[in-house]
């Protein structure tokens, strides 16, 4: 699904993943640790890393990190047409089936929530 392609964004900072004034990016492994699962990387490319994990409670998360903020913005622009919610940080993105899970994760990672518009709901 193309929504798996749109996974990362900007807007996260220090200290700790995603909090504080000095912007930095985090790894897929750091995101998975904050979620409470072990990441399985499915795409390892120069411009992005993408993967996912499942928590012990059965919640499934997809995540991506990007080499550049521009790559994240392009990914988000493409992903938004499929709808869904995204937690977006500095060159990283996380998506899951439940917005409440992203809100909880935002407390640990920082970032901001972004919601796409499902295809077919576009208004000229």
Which of 27, 37, 39, 3 lies closest to 89, judged by CA? Answer: 27
Question: What is the distance between the alpha carbons of residues 101 and 90, in angstroms, rounded to a whole number?
Answer: 19
pTM metric for this prediction:
0.73
Q: What is the pLDDT of residue 100?
A: 84
Spell 51-84 as b/e; 16+ CB within 10 A means b. bbbeeeeebebbbbbbeebebbbbbbeebbbbeb
Q: What is the pLDDT of residue 24?
A: 62
Per-residue pLDDT tens digits of the chain, which is 124 residues long = 333 333 333 333 333 333 433 346 789 999 999 889 999 999 999 999 999 999 888 889 999 999 999 999 999 999 988 888 999 999 999 998 778 888 888 988 899 999 877 655 444 4
Q: Which residues contact 42 (CB under 8 A, 6 or more apart)?
A: 50, 51, 52
């Amino acid at each position: 699904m193309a929504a798996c392609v749109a996974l990362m964004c900007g807007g996260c900072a220090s200290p700790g993943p995603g909090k504080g004034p000095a912007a930095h990016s985090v790894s897929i492994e750091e995101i998975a640790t904050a979620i409470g699962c072990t990441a399985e990387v499915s795409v390892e490319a120069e411009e992005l890393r993408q993967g996912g994990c499942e928590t012990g409670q059965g919640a499934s998360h997809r995540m991506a990190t990007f080499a550049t903020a521009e790559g994240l913005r392009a990914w988000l622009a493409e992903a938004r047409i499929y709808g869904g919610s995204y937690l977006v940080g500095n060159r990283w993105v996380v998506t899951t089936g439940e917005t409440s899970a992203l809100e909880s994760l935002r407390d640990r990672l920082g970032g901001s929530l972004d919601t796409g518009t499902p295809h077919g709901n576009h208004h000229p």
